[in-house]
Amino acid sequence: MTPAVELSGAELRRGARTLWSELDLQIAPGEFVAVLGPNGSGKTTLLQVLLGLLPLSAGTVRVQGEQPRRGTSTVGYIPQQRALDPLTPLRGRDLVGLGLDGHRWGPGLGGRRRRRDQVHEALAQVDALDYSDAPVGSLSGGEQQRLRVAQSLVGDPQLLLADEPLLSLDLARQRTVVELVDRRRREHGTAVVFVTHELNPVLPVVDRVLYLVDGRFRVGTPDEVMTSANLSELYRTEVEVVRVRGRILVVGAEEAPVHCEVHREDGAGELRSTAGAR
Ligand SMILES: Nc1ncnc2c1ncn2[C@@H]1O[C@H](COP(=O)(O)OP(=O)(O)OP(=O)(O)O)[C@@H](O)[C@H]1O
């Protein structure tokens, strides 16, 4: 079976900085890979490489067996969230429809009716029908984010690239999005590369984690990667990984994506988690 993604000896330099190098990673169809790392570690840049927007500095990259190209309809993309201009002249359903025909003229294969049904179904999946006729610029950040998720899935992608898709969503909506993406990859074999600051919301569904820190990285299952020894090596400082009620918390690295701190009052230790508070 052709891997959804194949990086070999991959390196990316930006200016004088090497974001990552010697990265070998194969992602199988249907696999769910979470990409973690502090700000500036190169997570978004990795997605840009897979989208064909940025060439590698060294090594090779293949997406579904081919050189990545811009605008490939089999790749769905949820960009990192930026508020839409309040004057954007689009309704919610128009934004979702761009996921079907944004890259070509006309209603595409199957005609207008099929297109309308597909958009309707995608809107229903993210619970966005109620506001699908409103101008997108008038919607809240979370509502816009749900439309972006619908847009990325409406074209039935074989690879889904998601950049912080849970931002601005409340816990119930986060769960809905994670379940939706999980169902998609199980039922349609869509491979998922999911950039996130929060491992815990996706922990139940993640197959592997790619953890990037300052040019260093680890790849493996959450149990393999999320250990005190590994993260201490990546952050070059003493870091403790704690498991509490099925959640993974990282103590000691200020910039770690999922972190908590030990807060002492009156000599009593209290574990105060900031995970999930973003
Ligand atoms: N066009 C560019 N030219 C030079 N450097 C760039 C360019 N775009 C991004 N960078 C740098 O590349 C590094 C990685 O950026 P990237 O956006 O991939 O990080 P990230 O891990 O996604 O961070 P965040 O969690 O903040 O979104 C950053 O230090 C950034 O300043």
For residue 43, how far is its CA from the centre of ligand 1 (angstroms)?
A: 8
| C-beta of 10 in contact with ligand 1 (< 6 A) | no
pLDDT of residue 173: 84
Evaluate if residue 273 carries a pLDDT over 60. no
| C-beta of 48 in contact with ligand 1 (< 6 A) | no
For residue 74, how far is its CA from the centre of ligand 1 (angstroms)?
A: 25
What pLDDT, in 10s, does the model give residues 53-103? Answer: 999 999 999 999 999 988 777 899 998 877 777 888 889 999 999 888 755
Q: pTM, whole model, 2 decimals?
A: 0.86
List the one residue out of 226, 251, 249 whose CA is nearest residue 240.
251
Evaluate if residue 278 carries a pLDDT over 50. no
What pLDDT, in 10s, does the model give residues 183-229? Answer: 999 999 999 999 998 899 999 999 999 999 988 999 999 999 999 99
| C-beta of 125 in contact with ligand 1 (< 6 A) | no
Q: How far apart are CA 145 and CA 136, in angstroms?
A: 10
DSSP letter at 11 equals: E
For residues 34-50, average pLDDT: 93
Q: How far apart are CA 122 and CA 126, in angstroms?
A: 7
Q: How far apart are CA 278 and CA 275, in angstroms?
A: 7
For residue 162, how far is its CA from the centre of ligand 1 (angstroms)?
A: 16
CB atoms inside a 10 Å sphere around CB 109: 10
| C-beta of 37 in contact with ligand 1 (< 6 A) | yes
| C-beta of 70 in contact with ligand 1 (< 6 A) | no
